[in-house]
Structure 1
């Protein structure tokens, strides 16, 4: 008989701690003793006045497989480096996760985006890979995580309120890629 680990235990042991992500956890949002930023959602009251409300009741009480882990910018950098260096997956699976998995591209005047396993891949007009990234937002939380393989650099924007993380990302990226 084998010892079956629960999802959170498996991910914590085999990903978070394996990468050295010591500030990343699945925690209950009502645990008042954990040093994490609370999320705030922008809402408007009946007088059309902006109010900020805690997002504690917007999600399951503890993280699930589609999100809910609390992390830091530094820990996400550790994760990406462990992934890119083949420390989390087999060589074959590392190669697969680090490339697009679709033939369908969203075309733009500056290039294209193609989806992969968990990541999106952005190419310029010449077909050169610019970044692989993952982004998302929900009530009171937002994240934009990008990896630039050519210069082995990560850029992460984390927000604990309703905000335009994409605008912040573009500003940071313009600084990162200035000398490119």
Structure 2
């Protein structure tokens, strides 16, 4: 890749979008490009850097999936284990046939605490439940525990955040560890993701970006009252773009799971639409020859994350933003330069 041409093109796109965030491109273990734009903290004019940590919203669901796969490898659960048999929490209106597989593939039918077909603003959730009280998986229970099923179990794919909260509870119950501690020790530490973690928004460490949302009058406000105080099983980890490149390298090289289990994680399970599938590890594009690329995405107020991994080229592109928009467009520009050149 011609770095100068790419830099000029990316810089132009960044100016057009006023993109704020980091981009990391990695191929076969080698960094191709790692750059940052905009401000991590607007009021102080503190610039984003390659070592800046960004919240990635649902982009961190894959960490929950890997953790579940590790418990399956250890023989503590199986993908066919029913949640009534691996949790000590009562869900009186849930289908007793719901399995780990259903939760991983968004086919459980459980009531989603944030149904994106019914709500388009995650911020609205915290008008009745103070966000500062939500700091672990169990804190989400009042939002769905006594609700009725949303759909028939196993019937069809419907993206569901509640399912991953339940998976986090399964991880805690069957590992004997707090969810955050498990992910940080078993995944981040093992992979070498030294800058990543689950941080409380009122106790952020150094080099963390604040998320910003544009207001109708053109001003910006932070997302501190728009998200749970601390991320968990369905999203909210903080990572550097570089660390996510390292994550994919660790995953595909067998440092996190066995070769067999990695294959299971990355195999298509549910057809979403046309050539888009969902597996235990997220979305993917597949054709007659197999999976073309894996897609990860995350959207929250003031958070925008996109990444892709091309298995046949061992190529990973990561885009993290501390604004609500822009990551997808920057990702497509990088793909145009590298894949479609």
Same fold (TM over 0.5): yes
Q: Which position in structure 1 is the counterpart of 2:309?
A: 147
CA separation in 1, counterparts of 2:310 and 2:278? 16
Q: Which position in structure 1 is the counterpart of 2:6?
A: none
Question: Over residues 68-127 of structure 1, what are the superposed CA-to-partner deviations in whole Å (9 max), with x where a residue is unaligned?
Answer: 11101110011111111121123322111122112x2412xxxx2111113211136x65
1:132–1:146 contact (8 Å) kept in structure 2: yes
Give 3-state SS (helix, strand or coil) of 1:86's partner: coil
Q: Which position in structure 1 is the counterpart of 2:273?
A: 106
CA separation in 2, counterparts of 1:127 and 1:79? 25
CA separation in 2, counterparts of 1:122 and 1:64? 27
CA separation in 2, counterparts of 1:138 and 1:30? 18
Larger % of helix: which? 2
Give 3-state SS (helix, strand or coil) of 2:297's partner: strand
CA separation in 1, counterparts of 2:284 and 2:236? 24
CA separation in 2, counterparts of 1:50 and 1:117? 40
Give 3-state SS (helix, strand or coil) of 1:62's partner: coil
- Answering whether residue 170 of structure 2 is matched by residue 7 of structure 1, we say no
Runs of 4+ aligned residues of structure 1 deviating over 4 Å after TM superposition are none
Q: Judging changes above 3 Å, is the alpha-carbon distance between structure 1 residues 7 and 128 closer, same or farther for their aligned structure 2 residues?
A: closer
CA separation in 2, counterparts of 1:106 and 1:42? 32
Runs of 5+ unmatched residues, structure 1: none
Q: Which position in structure 1 is the counterpart of 2:222?
A: 54
Deviation at 1:137, TM superposition (A): 0.8
1:100–1:115 contact (8 Å) kept in structure 2: yes
CA separation in 1, counterparts of 2:215 and 2:202? 21
Q: Judging changes above 3 Å, is the alpha-carbon distance between structure 1 residues 162 and 81 closer, same or farther for their aligned structure 2 residues?
A: same
Give the superposed CA RMSD. Answer: 2.0
Larger % of strand: which? 1
Pick from 69, 76, 85: which aligns with 2:253?
A: 85
Deviation at 1:18, TM superposition (A): 0.5
2:308–2:318 contact (8 Å) kept in structure 1: yes
Q: Which position in structure 2 is the counterpart of 1:71?
A: 239
Deviation at 1:32, TM superposition (A): 5.2
- Answering whether residue 206 of structure 2 is matched by residue 34 of structure 1, we say yes
Pick from 215, 219, 236: which aligns with 1:43?
A: 215
Give 3-state SS (helix, strand or coil) of 1:94's partner: helix
CA separation in 2, counterparts of 1:97 and 1:32? 32
Runs of 5+ unmatched residues, structure 2: 1-174
Q: Judging changes above 3 Å, is the alpha-carbon distance between structure 1 residues 105 and 32 closer, same or farther for their aligned structure 2 residues?
A: closer
TM-score w.r.t. length of structure 1? 0.85
TM-score w.r.t. length of structure 2? 0.46
1:84–1:98 contact (8 Å) kept in structure 2: no
Pick from 144, 159, 162: which aligns with 2:324?
A: 162
Structure with the greater alpha carbon radius of gyration:
2
